[in-house]
């Protein structure tokens, strides 16, 4: 016989799992893609691991999750958990016109001002998954950044 406490735990777990599934259905992911890097394999890596050993990934294609922040002439990927510890480890993000991004199954561009409700990009201050090529030499103004992820061919939010 199953104890009453175990039955309650199973029901509570099933309820929470159902709520999470329903919430996921209400927020479909937006995926912007380009076919410019279809021939490359992307290595999924954590943000912390990437910034801790950035030089090891030079000229490699990676997939990483971070918070995207954009200002007038700056586009960066950060990890809030690293920032809160006082070690702001930041990666520049360099989008290329050679690698145009479009919302999956549409012709809506990543930088389509009108389609993005007047925003320059639809992902500012949001956590995203991004794929691109690592460049250790481009560290931005006064070498203030860890390096750059460039030739972006995938953004998921």
Position 1 in a domain: no
Position 6 in a domain: no
Write down the pLDDT at residue 70.
87
What is the reported pTM? 0.76
Cα separation, 135 vs 104, in Å, equals 27
**With 80 as the cut, is the pLDDT of residue 95 above it?**
yes
Task: Note the pLDDT tens digit of each residue in 104-115.
Answer: 888 888 878 666
> What whole-number percentage of the chain has pLDDT above 90?
48
Q: What distance lies between CA 51 and its chain's CA centroid?
A: 14
DSSP string across 97-145: TTS--EETTS--BTT-TTTTTT-S-TTTTEEEEEEEEEESS---GGG-S
Position 15 in a domain: no
Position 21 in a domain: no
Position 109 in a domain: yes
Write down the pLDDT at residue 80.
79
Kindly report the CATH number assigned to the domain that includes residue 54: 2.40.50.140
Domain count of the fold of the chain: 1
Q: Pick the residue with more confidence: 142 or 138?
A: 138
Q: Which of 69-73, 131-135, 137-141, 142-146 has the highest mean pLDDT?
A: 131-135
Position 86 in a domain: yes
- List Cα–Cα distances, 125 to 27, 101, 119, in angstroms: 17, 19, 12
Task: Note the pLDDT tens digit of each residue in 62-87.
Answer: 999 999 998 877 899 999 777 655 55
Write down the pLDDT at residue 25.
44
Local confidence band at 58 (pLDDT 50, 70, 90 cut-offs):
very high
Task: Note the pLDDT tens digit of each residue in 24-57.
Answer: 444 578 999 999 999 999 999 999 999 999 999 9
Position 24 in a domain: no
The residue to which tokens 């007047």 are assigned: 118
Structural domain of 122: 31-156
CB 34 within 8 A of CB 153: yes
119-154 as b/e: b if 16+ CB within 10 A: eebbbeeeebebbbbbbeeebbeeeebbbbbbbbbb
Position 130 in a domain: yes
């Amino acid at each position: 016989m199953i104890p009453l406490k175990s039955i309650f735990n199973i029901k509570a777990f099933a309820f929470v799992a159902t709520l999470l599934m329903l919430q996921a259905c209400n927020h479909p992911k937006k995926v912007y893609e380009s076919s410019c890097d279809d021939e490359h394999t992307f290595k999924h890596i954590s943000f912390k691991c990437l910034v801790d050993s950035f030089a090891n990934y030079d000229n490699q294609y990676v997939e990483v999750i971070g918070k995207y922040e954009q200002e007038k002439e700056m586009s960066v990927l950060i990890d809030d958990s690293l920032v809160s510890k006082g070690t702001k480890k930041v990666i520049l993000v360099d989008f290329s016109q050679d690698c145009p991004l479009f919302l999956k199954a549409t012709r809506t561009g990543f930088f389509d001002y009108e389609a993005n409700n007047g925003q320059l990009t639809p992902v500012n201050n949001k956590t995203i998954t991004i794929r691109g090529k690592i460049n250790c030499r481009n560290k931005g103004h006064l070498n203030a950044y860890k390096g750059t992820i460039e030739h972006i061919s995938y953004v998921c939010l």
